[in-house]
Structure formats: C-alpha cells, structure tokens
Amino acid sequence: MAQLKHDYSDLILITGSSGFIGQNLCSYLNDLKLPFRRVCRNPIEGISSVSVGDIGPHTDWRRALEGVTHVVHLAARVHVMNDHLKDPLSLYNEVNALATLQLAKMAASSGVKRFVFMSTAKVHGEFTESILHPSDPSIFHERLVPAPADAYGLSKLQAEMGLRQIEAESGMEVVILRPPLVYGPRVRANFLKLIRLVASGFPLPFGQVKNIRSMIFLGNLISSIHSVLFHPRAAGKTFLVSDGRGISTLELCREIAEHLNVPLRVFSTPNRMLLNLSKILGKREVAERLLGSFHLDSAEIHKSLDWNPPFTFQEGVRATVEWYVRETKRANKQNLSYSSVQP
C-alpha cells in the first residue's frame, strides 16, 4: 500500500467505538498516534468518550463534532437473522439511514473534510449463486445496481443514497465501504458458532458443499478504513472490501480445524436435503449462509488506492481461533475456580 500522509492536526470521530470494529480501530489509531475521539451510546468507565445516547434522526452531534475533520461512522443496528419485529424496516431505517444522515448533515455544517460510512455488501443482495441450481455463478462488484433483499441491506442503501446527496450539496467528501462478513478476535454470531461446532468434533454434512463466500478479517478491514480516511483518490468512492479470495464453507471448516488441532469429520448430504431439514428446524437462514455463495470482486480498492489486505485468510483464521482457545481456557479456569469455593 502506498504510504499515507497524515496531518496530525486532524481529529477523527469514531461512532460505534465500543463495538467489534470500533474497539479495534481505536487501538489501531492509538498505535499510530493519530488523534481521535470516541462516541459511545453511554459513558464507559475509564475511557474518554462522548456519549450521545440512542442515535436517531434527531441526535445532537454538535459536542461530538467540535474540532473534528474526519468521521468514521460505524454505529448501526446490525443485521439480525429471523428478525421478528413487527416493522423491522422502520427501526433499521431510523438507526442506519436517518441517524446517519443527521450525523452527516451536522458534520458537513461543522466543516468535516471526509465522512467514511461503513455500509455492507448486502446492499447487492443475499447470494451470488443459487444454492440448489449453482450453474450460473456470478460475482458482486461496485458497478452492479444494488438489490438489497432485507430491511438491513435496504436501510444501508438508503443511507448511501442520502450521503451522496449531502456530498453533492455540501462538498464534504464521502467514502463508502461495503464489507461482507467480518471475523476476527471477539467475533460473535455465526462465525463463533461455526468454530464451536468444529471444536466439538461433531460430523458435519458439508462434503458436497462447493460454494464461494467472501469474508474479511478484522485487521484487513481496519487497514482499509485507514486507507480511505486519508487517500486523496478515495474521495467520492464506494468500495467492496474483502480478504481478496473466496472460500468454501468446507475450506473454512478445514482451516478452523487445523488451528484448533482437531480432526474434521465431514459427510456428504445433498443441499436440498439440508435445506429442507433446516427449514423444519427453523434454521433455514443459517443453512442458506453455510451453503450459498456470496462472492465479491474487491479489485477496485486495490487498483484505485494501491491497497492490499495485510493479512492472509489463513492468518486471519489463525488469529481468530487462537483468541477462541484463550477465551475457552480462561472461561473453564473461572468455572473451576468458582466450583472449588462452592459449599
């Protein structure tokens, strides 16, 4: 990656700073000695931050934006599988779209130079290939017309569209990042469940799965944020970002098992049978993600900014699994200590 020039008089505002991505971004910028300000929903003991409460279309960001030159907006209502809210789009839209545009308008008015928005590759849809008819594989790229398939993806797209309008009217530079699934130490949700499943040694029915899924290691995503914050050619651009290669679910399980130092047991089951079974168990959406393809072309950020992921897929999985092993040992040790003092 080309050497980025930092102006150490700049001040970076980070929303969602207590989250999975935000915590790591703060640590990264701290190591680089770049000035930044954390924004959190509520005050955090021992950490200097500005608390703004629940964000929405009327949030007052003025105190948080004082002296700020760059914004990285990470705060969001994240995707929830099987969301049973009566009106999920309304809530996603309030947090992910309207709150974002409120922040962007106030940022532009306060003189912010660049606004980096963490969107999602899900604005392109759910799959690049049919699970049951994988004869016409495709790939997502920035030139495709977005086609979100759920309330989360739609809310992020609405935010993107509003940001481009604010950019045109104000001159504030906007950069949009669209990552796929993000994994790394402290990961939660399905990636953590998959590690636990592989660690259990339970036989997995992925012998016939030949999908292609793009993901991004947390360290690679943080690096890409740093790049688009300061690179002059990033202004006004939208980038899909990933580890740079697609992998199958079976390949991912093998990599996890290798770093866990456990045998991987797999057997073959037709995809249609797995989908039917998952539907009966109420796990259809989980099965679709394990079996389907979600393949991104992230070449544009490489060509435009000379950015390359600093970590390989293997290094990312190893770091994630090593964290999981440490946390598991720590939890087991705490449980043993707790049990030893019980009457």
pLDDT at 4 over 70: no
- Quick: pLDDT tens for 132-155: 555 555 899 999 999 998 999 999
pLDDT confidence band for 305 (50 / 70 / 90): very high
Task: Give the C-alpha distances (Å, rounded to integers) separating 343 from 234, 249, 337.
Answer: 62, 46, 13
Q: Is residue 63 part of a domain?
A: yes
Tokens 């688009």 correspond to 228
Task: Give the C-alpha distances (Å, rounded to integers) separating 92 from 56, 158, 208, 334, 338.
Answer: 10, 10, 36, 38, 41
Please name the amino acid found at residue 336. Answer: L
Q: State CA 262 to chain mean position distance.
A: 28
pLDDT at 5 over 90: no
CA 91, CA 272: separation in Å to the nearest integer? 34
Task: Give the C-alpha distances (Å, rounded to integers) separating 42 from 48, 101, 156, 285, 304.
Answer: 11, 21, 24, 32, 38
Q: Which two tokens stand for residue 224?
A: 């890409």
Q: Is residue 343 part of a domain?
A: no
Q: How many domains does the chain have?
A: 1
Q: Is residue 255 part of a domain?
A: no
pLDDT at 338 over 70: no
Position 91 scores a pLDDT of 87
- State which residues form the domain around 35: 12-183+215-244+295-310
- Mean pLDDT rounded to a whole number for the chain: 89
Task: Give the C-alpha distances (Å, rounded to integers) separating 295 from 29, 153, 246.
Answer: 30, 16, 6
Q: Is residue 253 part of a domain?
A: no
Q: Is residue 3 part of a domain?
A: no
CA 40, CA 19: separation in Å to the nearest integer? 9
152 among known catalytic residues: yes
pTM here is: 0.91
Position 106 scores a pLDDT of 98
Q: Is residue 236 part of a domain?
A: yes
pLDDT exceeding 70 applies to what percent of the chain? 90
Tokens 């290669």 correspond to 245
- Quick: pLDDT tens for 86-131: 667 788 999 999 999 999 999 999 999 999 999 999 999 988 875 6
Tokens 């996603």 correspond to 92
CA 5, CA 284: separation in Å to the nearest integer? 47
Least confident window among 14-28, 46-60, 227-241: 46-60
Q: Is residue 251 part of a domain?
A: no
CB-CB contact of 12 with 71 (8 Å): yes
Tokens 């990656």 correspond to 1
Considering the candidates 152, 183, 324, 338, report the single residue annotated as catalytic. 152
pLDDT confidence band for 274 (50 / 70 / 90): confident
pLDDT exceeding 90 applies to what percent of the chain? 69
Q: Which residues pair with 14 in a beta bridge?
A: 38, 72
Mean pLDDT of 196-215: 92
CB-CB contact of 299 with 239 (8 Å): no
Mean pLDDT of 76-93: 71
CATH for 81: 3.40.50.720
pLDDT confidence band for 36 (50 / 70 / 90): very high
Q: Is residue 162 part of a domain?
A: yes
- The better pLDDT of the pair 53, 314 is held by 314
